[in-house]
Amino acid sequence: MRRLFFTILFASAAHAAPTPPIAPAPTHEQVEFFEKHVRPVLAEQCYKCHGPDKQKGELRVDSREALLKGTDSGPIVVPGDPAKGTFIKSIRHEIENTMPAKAPKLSDEKIAALTEWVKMGMPWPEHDKNAAPSKAQIAATHWAFQPIRKPAVPAVKDSAHWAQNEIDHFVLAKLEAAGLTPSPIASRYALIRRATFDLTGLPPTSAEVAAFQNDPAPTRDAFAKVVDRLLASPQYGERWGRHWLDVARYADHRGYLAGGASREYPFAWTYRDWVIQALNDDMPYDQFLTRQLAADLPGSGAKPGDIAALGFLTLGRRFLNNPNDIIDDRIDVVMRGTMSLTVGCARCHDHKYDPITAKDYYALHGVMASCEEDADPEKLPLLPGGKASPEFEKARAGVLAELRAEDQKIADKISATIRIGSGLSIWFSAEMVDAIAKKNGLPKKIVEGRTKEKNKLVKLELDPGSPPRAHVLRDRPQPVKPHVFIRGN
């Protein structure tokens, strides 16, 4: 047995891979090159199949040591010499086993960066030994967190004839690189139809087409006037406001609600109109976002009418009125709508691909939980210039009288000492009504009668004579201290 043991041991030693060379400490420039041009490619293109969770072909590429170890067949890369080994050949698609597998070839820029990195000797920051990059490291190179940069305008051959602006240069450069030529210049009829449909969603009128076709100015100048007119039209905000309202999951009702409660948001339209007006006023994007998150707070720069912008946070789903689901909806609309990040996974666990942890999620949860909204439409703030019509006031007084009569039925059943005029709110919560009914053995018909009258009041707020109000979110007097819910429980 000892003889067999030594035979196996020496045979294994003879075929073992050589010890990877110890790399010198990378320079600052090498670390910067790696973080900007190499790590993002490895993380985005390679870790899924060759990372900590999965090692196809026994290959890991999330550390220098793992990459130098290679596959189950041996080393695949030699530091300093991209021509040796199969790593660079694989990403260049020069061999049968290509990387990324079953995916398009990497861009020339990414291949050049990886090749240069191998030529440098594969510098890798020491703190990353045998470990996938940390959340902070991923965040440093994540596309969503990179500053916006103005790219250089590419030079083109035929710029004087076809390219009219900088965007045309980018289009023409791609066409020339592909050996293609631009389409013919569009006619004035085609131009005004394209612009009008794009900016207003409607076709141009015959008079507008004729005016553009008969304009003696050069086409470029005449078309600029058409575009300016369309951008100044109210229909521009209506057309393009719809795109943001889709992002903001705008609706004028709450979806399904149990117990026969009213589903309408009586003043949802005030948020819709605010978005349309913001676009027509050319409101800068940073102000557009700030108003929708904090129009009620000092320092937001908001005007009185901007309070309607808070519909961005409040006009969301209310399925079963679960407070944590409502908060999740608000976190989702803010993060997806403004940062293109889906963070809902972090409600139960650290996000696998984006640098969002459960602690990050519940920090946001604490912010949203520290806010409250009024369920009573009568308590929502009036918008400037809003005034109720006499017809509305009369109808409202009638519904309130009926509602108070229903409340009095409940009060009479519970106790003769309770009186509506002594502070009992007409806006019982659904939970309060259920508790009162169950505790006092009230007939279901009485509770349903009250809900029916309450819904009448909500629907009445949809009347054109109703003074416009804003759905708002206010800070609670005392902030909530958030906790991480383990697995979202």
pLDDT in tens, 50-62: 888 788 888 888 8
User: What single string gives the DSSP state of each residue in 242-308?
Assistant: HHHHHHTT--SB----GGG---B-TTHHHHHHHHHHHHHTT--HHHHHHHHHHTTSTTS---GGGGG
Would you state the pLDDT for residue 209?
97
Closest by Cα among 62, 67, 63, 65 to 77: 67
Q: Are 313 and 333 contacting, i.e. CB atoms less than 8 angstroms apart?
A: yes
- When mean pLDDT is compared across 70-74, 304-308, 413-417, the lowest value belongs to 413-417
Q: Burial-class residue 379 by CB neighbours within 10 Å (0-12, 13-18, 19+).
A: exposed
| DSSP secondary structure letter of residue 126 | G
Q: Burial-class residue 23 by CB neighbours within 10 Å (0-12, 13-18, 19+).
A: middle
What is each CA distance from 119 to 37, 115, 381, in whole angstroms? Answer: 14, 6, 65
Distance CA 57, CA 93 (A): 18
* C-beta contacts of 412-415 below 8 A and 24+ residues apart: 413/440, 413/442, 413/446, 414/440, 414/442
- Residues with Cβ within 8 Å of 377's Cβ and at least 6 positions away in sequence, in order, are 266, 267, 457, 458, 461, 469
Between 16 and 41, whose confidence is greater? 41
| pLDDT classification of 288: cutoffs 50, 70, 90 | very high
Q: Are 485 and 359 contacting, i.e. CB atoms less than 8 angstroms apart?
A: no
Q: Over range 252-263, report the average pLDDT.
A: 66
Share of the chain above pLDDT 70, in %: 80
Residue 478: both structure tokens together: 């005392």
Tell me which H or E stretch contains 455.
Answer: helix 444-460
Would you state the pLDDT for residue 418?
40
**Torsion angle defined by CA atoms of residues 252, 258, 260 and 266, in that order, rounded to the nearest 10 degrees:** -20
The yes-or-no verdict on residue 431 having pLDDT over 60 is no
The yes-or-no verdict on residue 276 having pLDDT over 80 is yes
Would you state the pLDDT for residue 18?
42
Would you state the pLDDT for residue 290?
94
Q: Burial-class residue 39 by CB neighbours within 10 Å (0-12, 13-18, 19+).
A: buried
Q: What is the pLDDT of residues 158-172, one digit of tens each?
A: 655 788 888 989 999
Would you state the pLDDT for residue 22?
53
Would you state the pLDDT for residue 17?
38
Per the prediction, the chain carries an average pLDDT of: 81
Between 98 and 337, whose confidence is greater? 337
| pLDDT classification of 66: cutoffs 50, 70, 90 | confident
Closest by Cα among 24, 255, 226, 31 to 137: 31
Residue keyed to tokens 């429980």? 489
Q: What is the pLDDT of residues 204-240, one digit of tens each?
A: 999 999 999 999 999 999 999 999 999 999 999 999 9
Instruction: Give the highest mean pLDDT range of 118-127, 146-155, 385-394.
Output: 146-155
Cα-Cα-Cα-Cα dihedral sign, residues 153, 158, 159, 164: negative
Q: Over range 355-375, report the average pLDDT.
A: 90
Q: Return the CA Rg of the chain.
A: 32
The yes-or-no verdict on residue 2 having pLDDT over 70 is no
- The residues pairing with 469 across neighbouring beta strands, listed in sequence order, are 382
The yes-or-no verdict on residue 482 having pLDDT over 60 is yes
Closest by Cα among 114, 112, 108 to 43: 114
* Phi, psi of 55, deg, nearest 5: -130, 85
Q: Over range 136-159, report the average pLDDT.
A: 78
Q: Over range 148-177, report the average pLDDT.
A: 84
Share of the chain above pLDDT 90, in %: 31
